[in-house]
Structures are given as C-alpha cells and as structure tokens.
Amino acid sequence: MSTDTTAINREMRLFERDAQVWLFGYGSLIYKADFAYLERRRAQVEGWTRRFWQGSHDHRGTPEAPGRVATLIELPGAVCVGMAYRITPAVFAHLDHREKNGYLRRRVTLRFDDGDSTEGLVYIADPDNAAYLGPAPESAIARHVATAAGPSGPNRDYLLRLAEALRALEADDPHVFAIERDLLALDAIASP
C-alpha cells in the first residue's frame, strides 16, 4: 500500500451518509483541531493503545527521514483516552488529506465520561501500511523524535504537545510519558 491513503479513504465512504459523526482523536487531533466541529468531548476507546510506531513522511519528517507519530494498536484490556469531535461529513476531505500518510478510517466505539457511548470514526495506521516503523524501545523512539523534522515542524514538538494535552485530559499514558522523559533527558545531556 502507498503511504498516501487519501483515495482509499474516499472510496470507503464510511459514515458519509450520516448527517453527523463523532471523530476520535488520539494524537495531534487532541490539541490541533484545524477543522470545523459541532461539539468536543473527552472520550476513550477500549481495546486500543497509543503507540509511536507510525512514520511521518509528510508532517513531522520527510520521505528520506520520517518522524515518529502516534497510531493505535489493538491490545485487549487497554483503554486509550483522547478527544472526540462531533463533525459533519463535509470535514472528511480535510481529514483524509491531513491523515493521508498511512491512516485509514475505521469504525470504533467511543465512550464518554458520563457513561454514554456511540459508534464513531478514527484514523488508524495499521502495521501493513508503507509508512509503518513498528515497535522500538521508548529510549530509541526518543532519540528518533529528537532529530526528526518536517513541514509541520520538529517531531519533538508533536510529542511534547501531545504529552501536555494528555495531562490536561488527566490521561495516563506510560508509553508517551516515557518517550517524553527520555527526550527531556537527552535535552539535559545536550545542554549542560
């Protein structure tokens, strides 16, 4: 599969007949909502965990030196906290372009803090996409993130903003926070 999944997502037509749909954001969509939305709520998905295993050739890296960004990996018993946005299908064209680097639309059940749940949409970069980098120790991921940059800026900014946004949501994510801790330790070594 190509790294550009725009056309695949447009062919899926997932939720396009609905007047409104909930979109689950677990990476930069938590803190950078550059699209129109009707409502925003803290939400979670069960059976999925956030991992910095996806390559970014178009935002936080380049084709020659991709950055590392978040995707969701299935893990029984896991809970991933993020932000849900109630949107209209008019937003799909923008989102399909923004999430084009290996991410595909998927149907998922979102749960809200008040106990309500609903079917919604999430963009996930599966392990079989061309930009997938796969697992690595958090310390290695931190070293990778420390040096990567792309058209949307340094990869480190993505990680640090995500960690900050997760704290604001009171979401515990040991994987993200371990990478952040290792990245900050690298910074301390680089500038005594």
CATH says 6-190 is which class? alpha beta
The pLDDT value given to residue 101: 86
Burial 18-44 (b: 16+ CB within 10 A, else e): eeebbbbbbbbbbbeeebebeeeeebb
The pLDDT value given to residue 162: 98
The pLDDT value given to residue 1: 47
Q: What is the average pLDDT across 22-49?
A: 97
Confidence check: pLDDT of 112 > 80: yes
Angle between helices 174-190 and 155-168 (to 10 degrees): 130
Residues forming a β-bridge with 123: 105
Query: pLDDT-derived band of residue 191, with 50, 70 and 90 as boundaries?
Result: low
Task: Please state the three-class secondary structure of 39-81 as a single string.
Answer: EEEEEEEEEEEEEEEEEECCCCCCCCCCEEEEEEEEEEEEEEE
Q: How far apart are CA 168 and CA 131, in angstroms?
A: 30
Q: Which of 11, 64, 99, 138 is an active site residue? A: 99
Active site annotation includes 64:
no
Tell whether pTM > 0.85.
yes
Q: How far apart are CA 94 and CA 181, in angstroms?
A: 33
The pLDDT value given to residue 108: 97
pLDDT digits (tens, 9 = 90+) for 126-173: 999 999 999 999 999 999 999 999 999 999 999 999 999 999 999 999
Query: pLDDT-derived band of residue 192, with 50, 70 and 90 as boundaries?
Result: low
